Structure 1
Amino acid sequence: MSAEHATARVSAPRVRPRSAPATSAPAPRPRLRVVRPPAQARTHVPFVVTCMAILAGALLSALLLNTQLAAGAYETRTMDVRLAELARSEQQLSAEIDANKSPAQLAARATELGMQPAGATGWLRLADGTVSGGVEPAP
């Protein structure tokens, strides 16, 4: 035996790995399942409305500003015309005053009012109450 055993090979039983125990196949998924509703798409309407409101406000402001400037221009024109009329009137009145200041005009106007030209100059002496100079009493 020893020789036989020496020449003979001892073979060990082969160990096969154990396969996993057979489990039942997973249950098939149902065809219907819960689905999330689609995400709300963000609408651009508020942004567009805000932009249009800003644009409308800007246009309205420009229109009101332009209207006010036009009204101011008309008022300025009216005031310029009035100023020119007053300047012309002032010039006429100044010319009339200068004409009335002339000595000939003053004498004619005084005569119309019943004034007489002054005669010689006289002096009154207060110490003794005498009048000297060629003074005649007014008629």
Structure 2
Amino acid sequence: MPFLLVVVLILLGALASSMILNATMADTAFRMHEAQIRLNILNDHIDTVRSQVQDVSAADSLAQRATALGMVPAGAPGVVDLTTGTVSGGTAATQG
């Protein structure tokens, strides 16, 4: 009789362990799925921000914003003679 009780207890223990392990695996899979969804959302946000940065940093966009701020293109560069302290060549920036 005690042998039969031990066998039954071992089988019940194995069944309970299997059920707990199965529940734990299901919970882990659910949490991994939720984390994957959050990761996909964050990756979409990153792509959106990268696109916005590329649009704003494009040359034509920068030129339009600089003009709106009152900036003008630089003139031709000159050469500074360090011995005399004079500038030769070059032109100043002018309102276009």
Please state how far the C-alpha of 1:137 moved relative to its aligned partner.
Answer: 7.2
Partner of residue 123 from structure 1, selected from 54, 72, 79: 79
More helix per residue: 1 or 2? 2
Cα-to-partner distance string for 1:37-86 (whole Å, 9 max, x where unaligned): xxxxxxxx211111111111111111111111111111111111112112
Specify the SS of the correspondent of 1:124. strand
Whether the 8 Å CA contact 2:80–2:86 is kept in 1: the answer is yes
Distance of 1:112 and 1:57 partners within structure 2: 77
Give structure 2 stretches of 5+ with no counterpart: none
Q: What percentage of residue pairs aligned between the two structures are identical?
A: 37
Change (3 A) 1:109 1:133: same
RMSD: 2.1
Distance of 1:77 and 1:64 partners within structure 2: 20
Distance of 1:117 and 1:137 partners within structure 2: 6
Partner of residue 80 from structure 1, selected from 23, 28, 36: 36
Q: What amino acid is the match of 1:133?
A: G
Query: How do 1:29-48 and structure 2 match up within 5 A?
Result: 45-48=1-4
Larger Cα-atom Rg: 1
Partner of residue 68 from structure 2, selected from 112, 121, 124: 112
Please state how far the C-alpha of 1:127 moved relative to its aligned partner.
Answer: 2.6
Specify the SS of the correspondent of 1:131. strand
Whether the 8 Å CA contact 2:75–2:93 is kept in 1: the answer is no
Count of aligned positions: 95
Specify the SS of the correspondent of 1:75. helix
